[in-house]
Amino acid sequence: MHDHAGHDHAAHASVKRLRLALALTAAFLVAEVIGGIASNSLALLADAGHMLTDVAALALSLFVAWFSRQPSTPQKTYGYLRWEILAAFLNGSVLLLISAWIIVESVIRIRAPEPVGGLMLWVALGGLVTNLISARILHAGSRDNMNVRGAYLHVLGDLLGSVGVVIAAIVIRYTGWLQADPIASFVTTALIIRGAWTLVRESVDILLEGAPRHIELSAVRAQLEAIPGIESVHDLHVWTVNPRMVAMSAHAIVRDASAQQHVLEHVHDAMRIFGIGHVTVQIEQSDMADREAHAHM
């Protein structure tokens, strides 16, 4: 009872941190877009694009924190876990489109530099401070909550983009070298593309029910076939339901019917090595497998 209350308190504290960080980041995102347009700074707009990834990540974390509590139904046996993946795919795809636009604009600006207003430096400094505050808010909750940790690391990455914009603003202010603005936008956009592409790639892999990249299917098969009592394994599948749930199903041929329960217990223990928590195994006897093989011929 006490542990349950402590868990609820920690979850509530995490949601509060996420809400505060989201409010700060979203408010400054609007300010940065306005400042970028007013100062004619492509670097600020690029950083705003990166900050948009922060807003999306924080909003997604909040959404998941609420939606993950919804119970499964007979129609949705895994609950609503895949909404997280769909949202990640959409966010990543939009960010890749934004990045393509920024790169095209950067090339145009390098060839024909345009004047940048002095407002750029102050807005850039404001973005840096906002990211620092958001990171500080999320840091406490990132130790024991993977959802908050993901948002924290996302905001931490955005600090690099903010630093780049500040440096570009200082260079332009004191040297007048206008190319610093599009060059800074290139650096910031590289951060966006890397994160967005990873997000899209991983979400597509999950939606296609591909095996997680950190798990070798051959290693899983070898681990299963090393269990005493298992003769061989076929129809082996490993897939990700969401980043926190990896599932596995397989057919295992076991000669000795009396060893089936022992085998099942060992299978569950073996799969924990790979971080696979949802395990489904169908036990078959050798003669059953032979009949099945002949039936397919």
DSSP string, 73-128: -SS-TTTTTHHHHHHHHHHHHHHHHHHHHHHHHHHHHHHS-----THHHHHHHHHH
pLDDT of residue 297: 47
Question: Does residue 49 share a domain with residue 14?
Answer: yes
pLDDT of residue 292: 53
Secondary element (H or E) of residue 241 = strand 230-242
Question: Does residue 243 share a domain with residue 197?
Answer: no
Question: Does residue 231 share a domain with residue 140?
Answer: no
Secondary element (H or E) of residue 274 = none
Domain around 247:
217-296
Question: Does residue 146 share a domain with residue 7?
Answer: yes
pLDDT of residue 286: 63
Question: Does residue 202 share a domain with residue 243?
Answer: no
Helices (H), the chain: 2-39, 42-67, 82-111, 119-139, 146-175, 180-207, 217-225, 260-272, 286-296
Nearest to 88 by CA among 9, 147, 174, 159: 147
Question: Does residue 237 share a domain with residue 108?
Answer: no
pLDDT tens for the chain, 297 residues long, are: 444 444 455 556 677 888 888 888 888 888 878 887 887 877 677 767 767 877 887 887 787 767 766 777 777 776 666 776 777 777 778 778 877 877 887 788 788 776 665 676 777 788 788 888 888 888 776 565 555 666 776 677 677 767 777 888 788 888 888 888 788 778 777 777 877 787 788 888 888 888 888 899 999 999 999 999 898 899 999 998 877 788 999 999 988 888 888 899 999 999 998 989 889 999 888 655 455 555 554
- The token pair at 178 is 């206008």
Q: What is the CATH number of the domain that holds 37?
A: 1.20.1510.10
Q: Is residue 212 part of a domain?
A: no
3 state SS of 207 = helix
CB 227 within 8 A of CB 258: no
Q: Look at the pTM and tell me if it is higher than 0.85.
A: no
pLDDT of residue 238: 94
pLDDT of residue 10: 55
pLDDT of residue 5: 47
